[in-house]
Amino acid sequence: MNNYKPGGTGQKQTRISKMHKTTEQKNAARSSAAATSGAIASGSTGSGKNNTHPKKGKPAQSSRLRTAREVALQTLVKVAEAGAYSNLQLNRALQDAQLSRQDAALATELVYGTISHQRTLDYRLEMLVTKGLDKLAVWVHQLLRMSAYQLLYLNRIPPHAAVNEAVQIAKHRGHAGISGMVNGVLRNMLRRLPEMQQPVSSEDPVKRIGLTYSYPDWLVGRWLSVYGEAGAEAICAAGNESPHASLRINSNRLSVEKGIALLAEAEIDATESKLTAGGIVIESNAGNLTQLEGYGEGLWTLQDESSMLVAQVCAPKPGMTVLDCCAAPGGKTTHMAELMNDMGRLVANDLHPHKKQLIQEQAQRLGLTIIEAVSGDASELSGQFPAEAFDVVLLDAPCSGFGVLRRKPEIKWTKSPEDIDAIAALQERLLDEASRLVKPGGTLVYSTCTIEQEENEGQINRFLQKHPAYLLDAAWPEPVLAPLLEAGLIGKDFQGALQLLPQHFGSDGFFIARFKRRD
Ligand SMILES: C[S@@+](CC[C@H](N)C(=O)[O-])C[C@H]1O[C@@H](n2cnc3c(N)ncnc32)[C@H](O)[C@@H]1O
């Protein structure tokens, strides 16, 4: 485990910030990176004007709910009241509202940005709302948060537009007293903007980072103890940025160069991934990438760059027998089938029977025939398959998900330390079971999309202690190792386990460990 460098991420961070656009430019593309979410991207200031009444310049009654800010507010209220997942709720609202591409991008930005920054927004708003935020109706609280987010973080939105639209919404939804209060609070914030935009200063690094970047103290505390102050701060900053969209080329059908050329024909700027072979990073606002012809034709799959590494680390060969224990929706399964040139046997299991169809749909779209989708609890798989039956077993385990906060910001507020303990216990059971199914001399790969030590380094250390038949395997394919070595994330003493953090390549935080079963 030589790539853990508490506090050692500063140098890398500088390089990354040069390589990538500013936070705000990236945020404009947030929705196109919402992977298969169906959200749409652009850099709109989102006036909602396309939905105004053509003559009076006022929102028409039938389409009033269709302004970007109304759609965002409606989504935020549902997420706050019903604990709905932000991405699912937003997709539904966007589909209903039929916003212009620009306004869909603004609504997406407002939802993710407001949820992500809610602690800092509340900290600032508490200074301005005299009766206290907890006395406000949910929708008023969410409206203030969403408007404060625009004032404090989105320089491209004229402040008066943010305030005026908030007041209009308050007038439509509430009584004059509420719109007056909203107006007063936001104008006050505008007057104190330079002070309110300062990072929060505190002697206590947990408070300083938590309040400045909007994370719960318990989470910052955990990351401080593992990654050091600079490392934890870089993780928190990167977790607030917008993810870029990326595609995995179906290598059986297309080269990366051809893929980039096809995207250029659709006026989408794309470049080859610096992290992973076969990966393409979308540089421009591309809208919903699943609606492009190439997606339907199975030329590519939407997948984060870190996630693409996992199947490459598994390195299955044509003709092998492979098991993916927790496979849905099939991103890594289909990648492994592509690497196997669609030859051999690939069993894709998931707990939930309804997810079998998701895997099958992806296999069909990509023209892959060797995938056998099954459903069952991966902690009981040895009841279904003979022991030592597979050349390669992948356990892409359910996890706390702190590596994908940019796509699911509400995880910050919904997960607890107890959730981490519970999920780590499940992972341990799944890993024990998966290990029974690997042939002697075969490969076991364990991965998560989190950066929690207990689920990652701690998990594999426990595993190695319990299973002397296994050892870590550093013989990863050279194309996987090369960019990691070049970036200084691993050295010559690499042992076979990698923790990627979101600030390293601007991709998801991921953990990957490869084990070899002794002959
Ligand atoms: C991280 S996701 C897998 C993502 C997938 N490997 C991909 O690349 O598309 C984890 C999956 O584990 C499944 N899961 C959760 N508990 C499970 C269990 N006990 N047995 C099998 N699958 C489980 C979930 O339904 C979820 O689809």
Which amino acids bring their CB within 6 angstroms of ligand 1? Answer: 326-332, 350-352, 355, 377-379, 396, 398
Q: Which of 335, 351, 456 to mutate to test the pocket of ligand 1 (most atoms within 8 A of CB)?
A: 351
Q: Is 327 annotated as a binding residue?
A: yes
**Contacts (Cβ under 8 Å, ≥6 apart) of 272:** 256, 260, 279, 280, 281
| ipTM of this complex | 0.99
Residue nearest to atom 27 of ligand 1 (CA): 328
* pLDDT over 70, % of the chain: 87
Strand extents, DSSP E, 340-416: 345-350, 371-375, 390-396
Q: Is 475 annotated as a binding residue?
A: no
300 vs 268: CA distance, rounded Å: 14
Q: Which residue has the higher pLDDT, 84 or 157?
A: 157
Which of 456, 429, 451, 436 lies closest to 502, judged by CA?
451
Q: In the predicted model, is pLDDT for residue 373 greater than 60?
A: yes
pLDDT tens digits for 312-344?
A: 999 999 999 999 999 999 999 999 999 999 999
Chain-wide mean pLDDT for the chain?
88
- Span 425-436, average pLDDT: 98
pLDDT of residue 16: 25
Split at pLDDT 50, 70, 90, the class of 101 is confident
* 328 in Cβ contact with 352 (< 8 Å): yes
Q: In the predicted model, is pLDDT for residue 57 greater than 60?
A: no
Residue nearest to atom 6 of ligand 1 (CA): 327
- Span 190-216, average pLDDT: 96
pLDDT of residue 138: 97
Q: How far is the CA of 14 from the centre of ligand 1 (A)?
A: 35
User: Quick one: CA torsion of 211, 212, 213, 218, rounded to 10 degrees?
Assistant: -30
Split at pLDDT 50, 70, 90, the class of 82 is confident
Kindly report the backbone phi and psi dihedral angles of residue 169, in degrees, each rounded to the nearest multiple of 5, phi listed first.
-60, -45
Residue nearest to atom 1 of ligand 1 (CA): 398
pTM for this one? 0.87
With residue 125 as reference, give the H or E element that holds it.
Answer: helix 118-126
pLDDT of residue 285: 67
Active site residue 449: yes
Q: How many CB atoms lie within 10 A of CB 504?
A: 26
pLDDT tens digits for 103-158?
A: 888 999 999 999 999 999 999 999 999 999 999 999 999 999 999 999 999 988 99
Of residues 236, 314, 399, 449, which has the active-site annotation?
449
Number of the ligand 1 atom closest to the C-alpha atom of 329: 9
* Tokens standing for residue 519: 């002959």
* Tokens standing for residue 119: 């602690």
Q: In the predicted model, is pLDDT for residue 292 greater than 50?
A: yes
pLDDT of residue 192: 96
Tell me the three state secondary structure of residue 249: strand
247 vs 87: CA distance, rounded Å: 19
pLDDT tens digits for 444-485?
A: 999 999 999 999 999 999 999 999 999 999 999 999 999 999
Split at pLDDT 50, 70, 90, the class of 95 is confident
Q: Which residue has the higher pLDDT, 284 or 448?
A: 448
Beta bridge partners of residue 324, listed in sequence order: 348, 394
Q: How far is the CA of 452 from the centre of ligand 1 (A)?
A: 18
- Span 209-219, average pLDDT: 98
Beta bridge partners of residue 374, listed in sequence order: 349
Tell me the domains of the chain and their CATH numbers: 21-196 (1.10.940.10), 246-302 (3.30.70.1170), 305-517 (3.40.50.150)
Q: Is 396 annotated as a binding residue?
A: yes
Q: Which residues of 8-44 are buried (b: 16+ CB within 10 A; e: fewer)?
A: bbeebbeebeeebbeeeebbbbbbbbbbbbbbbbbbb
